[in-house]
Amino acid sequence: MDNTTEGAVPAVGPAGEVYVAWSGSEGIRFDRSLDGGDTWLDEDIFIDSQPGGWNYDVPGIPRCNGLPITCCDISQSDFRGTIYVNWTDQRNGDDDTDVWISKSTDGGNTWSDAFRVNDDPAGKQQFLTWMTIDQANGDIYVVFYDRRNYNDRNTDVYLAHSTDGGETFENILVSESPFVPHTGSSGDPFFGDYTNITAFDGIVRPIWARQDIQKMSVWTAIVDISTYFPEPKELIPFSLEQNYPNPFAYTTHFSFKLHETSFVTLSVSDMYGRHITTLISRRKMQPGKYVETFDAHYYRMSPGIYYFMLTDGKHRQDRKMILIE
């Protein structure tokens, strides 16, 4: 545990208020100024404990900072004026780092209990988070590294999205392929805590670093959130989301939700309707969210426009995807 005080990322409120939270030996604390920073509260306000402190390790990264990010909704949404603080910690164990958010609707006087942002089952690592608010509509976006899909150090990048003031989050995979960070040995590059994210009117741009052996690189994606979460058709007992990433060069992911037990088929065809493959064939599946990974190179597909379809025999949804070189 590091007892130093760090992580001050100030935010501005609707009337020019200055809000800031940070981590230290007493957990995550908050202060505010209503006069442009000339004066502050006599006593800082406690938000939440941070078990293990802000400086912790995950396998492959010996310094994995859980420092907080502060944002305020200054849009015209129903959540205007709400302050959010986002961080990571190991309250559930050093093998189960999670992403958290707390919010205040009264200018920082009181704070909600911490809410878990990552929506995977317990037991995997999520770390190095950053948050933004789409000031066109009040939606919240959080980007973080994630190992939910693996039992080793393979690492993806996920984006979490909330439309209800941080009460619930949808998680989507935004990186195209995993990587394996390894720092700490002599000659290894410093992996760092260099994530960030910005969003406006449903267009989201996360940014992150990745490490491939000794090579460090910086990546981003341009995410149109409306293509990830289309409105489900009325009375259809499932919803098929847009594939991600899209366009894609090698692999992509098909995500769908079943609202009731169904016998489903998931297939892929070209733009002329010619069948390419069936990934799921009349499989009985329980209600829940499912993700299937699709490798275009395995089927020797050429760049172009394709479709993937989900059906239960009575209803059907399809989405267009673009394969690039």
Distance, in Å, from the CA atom of 266 to the CA atom of 285, rounded to the nearest integer, reads 12
Q: What is the distance between the alpha carbons of residues 64 and 58, in angstroms, rounded to a whole number?
A: 7
E-strand ranges in 213-261 read 215-220, 223-224, 238-240, 251-258
Q: Report pLDDT for 234.
A: 47
Q: Which CATH class is domain 11-226?
A: mainly beta
Domain limits, CATH 2.60.40.1930, in the chain:
230-323
**Coarse DSSP helix, strand, coil percentages of the chain, rounded to the nearest 5 percent:** 0, 50, 50
Token pair belonging to 247: 């366009």
Give pLDDT tens digits along the chain (325 positions): 566 888 899 999 999 999 999 999 889 999 999 999 999 999 999 999 988 888 888 998 877 889 999 999 999 999 999 999 999 999 999 999 999 999 999 999 999 999 999 998 889 999 999 999 999 999 999 999 999 999 999 999 999 999 999 999 999 999 988 999 877 665 566 777 789 999 999 999 999 999 887 788 999 999 998 877 655 444 678 889 999 898 999 899 999 999 899 999 999 998 878 899 999 999 999 998 899 999 999 999 999 999 999 999 888 888 989 999 8
pTM over cut 0.75:
no
Task: Assess contact for 80 and 73: CB atoms under 8 A.
Answer: yes
| CB distance 318 to 296 below 8 Å | no
What pLDDT does residue 314 have? Answer: 83
Tokens of 75: 């849009």
Signed CA dihedral, 17, 112, 101, 79: sign only: negative
Q: Please, where in the chain does CATH 2.120.10.10 lie?
A: 11-226
Q: What is the CATH number of domain 230-323?
A: 2.60.40.1930
- Amino acid identity of residue 24, one-letter, is G
List, in order, residues 6 or more apart from 13 with CB less than 8 Å away.
19, 72, 74, 81, 83, 107
